[in-house]
Amino acid sequence: MPPAKRGTKPPKSTVAASKQSAPSPGVRPVDASKASKRSRKNKPLKVVGITLGVILGLLVAVYAGIAVYFTDRFMPNSNVGDIDVSLMSAADAEKALVEAIDDYTLSIGGDGFSLTLSSSDAALSIDEASVIRDMLDDTNPWLWPLEVRNDHDETDKLVAVSNGTGLEDAIRSAVEEFNASAEQPVNATIAYDPDQGAFAVQPESAGTALDADQIVRKADEALAVLNPKVTLTAEDLLKPTVLSTDAALATATANANTMIAAELVLTMAGDTAATLDAGLISQWVVLGEDLSATLDDGALTAWVEQLASDCNTVGTQRSYTRPDGKSITVSGGAYGWTVDSEALLATVKDAVANGTQATVEIPCSTSGKAYNGAGGQDWGARYCDIDLSEQYVRFYDESGALVWESPCVSGLPNGKRDTPTGVYWLNQKASPSTLIGYENGKKTYETPVQYWMPFVGNSVGLHDANWQSSFGGTRYKTNGSHGCVNLPPSAAGELYGIIQAGDVVVCHW
């Protein structure tokens, strides 16, 4: 466009443009130079932001990549028992476990015991894949910056198992063999101390025998984590099940000491037959499973029965010296002492239970006139002596003086009519009387006598025999009686006036 002529009016469009470009009142006009400077200043900031964004993106990518890496791989400082699985893949770790199991041996030792078992001995097996998964699940790969600095012991995830009973059987067999010569544990108990004359608690002792259950448990625990060694300690010994600190033992001791406080002097006809004291009673005190002190009924009963047997004299062999000095041994008969065992047992039990101290006559169902111990003369000085070997009868009074004597004729020694030997009571006296004999249910004789003095029931006794032409010597061998002791009539009458029912009659060879 050609320049406007001076003084010439500018075109409308120019004027309009001028008007439009003119600043409005109160509005600061834009400084073009300043805007340009600002634009140049913001440009570096954009570059920095873009750079940071790129770096951040890279870091996120690296972080995520490492996290993904560890989703199937173990963190540094990772182990399973003695196996280092750091940075191993799941497949590599599984292979390492398989190899470890194949090479695994378990050594059990201590306290003199030694046993080594291989994985085949234990029939060892493991689900390797499952174990590896459990181990990997124990860490969070997205927290790897923290996880890589930590130690990772994954042994607790390892669960090896022994298939069958091979491991347990091997251990129990070895322990049983070891224990055969080992000292077994001893429970605390109570025992009688003769020096103190009292019961006291005796402490327990462990011994050297091993606890098979405890060792099997330890072996299972070691095997589960492939621990190659089990070291036995005092904790693996068989333990006493009763300790000296048990209050029940103190109670039992007190009760036992009450029992042995009893002291009984047991007499027969006033003579001491046995003494029941602490030393004897202590042998019958037993500790029950409930730790209560009781009397051993079996042992106590056995003692009472033995005492009764020792004191019983009925039918037993006795040896004595007759007043004229002849030594005689006799057996059999109905006379003597018979101890009432049940009554004696009850007496002893009651005395022990109450700590009784007394002198007690032994209860008897039959009693003699004297007691001189087993095998001794259990009758007094007064008795009738029938000596079959001499065919002679004597009677001694209470002082032992011979007050009557006579020859006799005893039973025919043919096995059927022999005069029975033994010690008897004189059962009764009768004057007169009739002797009646039977054989096979039939009456064989009926003989009247003036003086009848039976000592074997009412069938054998001393009596007058006026049919005998002589007495003494060997007449009994040919003209012997049916078992009675025949006497001359006058002598029988004299004896009848002296002897009394209840007197002792000793008939012997």
**Rounded Cα distance, 268 and 258, in Å:** 27
Angle between helices 212-224 and 166-179 (to 10 degrees): 140
- 384 catalytic residue (yes or no): no
Q: Quick check: 483 and 420 in contact, CB under 8 A? A: yes
Choosing from 311, 364, 384, 463, which is the catalytic residue?
463
- 364 catalytic residue (yes or no): no
Q: Which residues pair with 116 in a beta bridge?
A: 107
- The answer, yes or no, to whether the previous bond of 44 is cis (omega within 30 of 0) is no
**Rounded Cα distance, 492 and 441, in Å:** 30
- For 478, phi then psi, to 5°, come to -115, -30
Any idea what the Cα angle at residue 291 is, between residues 289 and 294, rounded to 5°?
Answer: 90
**Rounded Cα distance, 236 and 211, in Å:** 6
Choosing from 408, 484, 507, 508, which is the catalytic residue?
484
Report CA-CA distances (Å) from 493 to 237, 472, 499, 502: 88, 18, 10, 18
Neighbours of 276 (CB within 10 A): 22
Strands 152-153 and 78-80: parallel
SS3 letters for 372-396? CCCCCCCCCCCEEEEECCCCEEEEE
**Rounded Cα distance, 29 and 45, in Å:** 28
**Rounded Cα distance, 410 and 428, in Å:** 20
The catalytic residue positions are 463, 484
